[in-house]
Amino acid sequence: MTCFWITRQIDADFVLRNFERMHGGDIFVPKKPSARDIDLAQVYSPSIPTEDSGIRSGKKLYEVICPTDDSVHTFEHHDHFVIAPSIKFYRDDLKYDETPLEKSATLVDAGFEYLPGSNSGFLSVEKIIEFGRG
């Protein structure tokens, strides 16, 4: 099983930085590193032996942050994604590929998903420890 990994401070900074970019109804998704549950267990409980017990009831193999269904209106920026609303609330002149801070976002390919298992930024045990300190 895999998950995205981010600190509260990075999350808070991301939210505050994007208040100026929000139009209403859009979803901002930071690009985050991924980690394997087994690696997290080794970091937080290194002296306890681990055993694969399978998937527990209610547990997901991974979380999907940008689902395939929304790929037709998901824009990729250098450090995040923006999922534009599928319905127009009040304005139809909004441009999600341009922001005050960045002008070069692109629409993702049809069928795109953002999930930790296919993320290129996987954290090793050493990187999880380092990430937690910083």
Measured CA to CA, the distance from residue 25 to residue 83 in angstroms comes to 9
Write down the pLDDT at residue 112: 94
Write down the pLDDT at residue 91: 65
Write down the pLDDT at residue 103: 66
Write down the pLDDT at residue 39: 87
Write down the pLDDT at residue 88: 73
DSSP-derived secondary structure letter, 29: E
- Mean pLDDT value across residues 69-74: 93
Q: In 3-state terms, the chain is what percent helix, strand and coil (to 5)?
A: 30, 15, 55
| 72-125: pLDDT as tens digits | 999 998 888 999 888 776 666 677 666 666 667 889 999 999 988 777 778 888
Measured CA to CA, the distance from residue 34 to residue 36 in angstroms comes to 7
* Token couple for 48: 């306890």
Sheet holding 106-107, edge to edge: 27-30, 80-83, 74-76, 106-107
Write down the pLDDT at residue 127: 86
| 17-64: pLDDT as tens digits | 888 778 788 899 999 888 888 888 888 888 888 877 777 787 777 788
Write down the pLDDT at residue 75: 92
In this structure, whether the domain defined by 2-133 belongs to CATH 3.40.50.720 is answered with: yes
Parse the chain into domains and list their residue ranges: 2-133
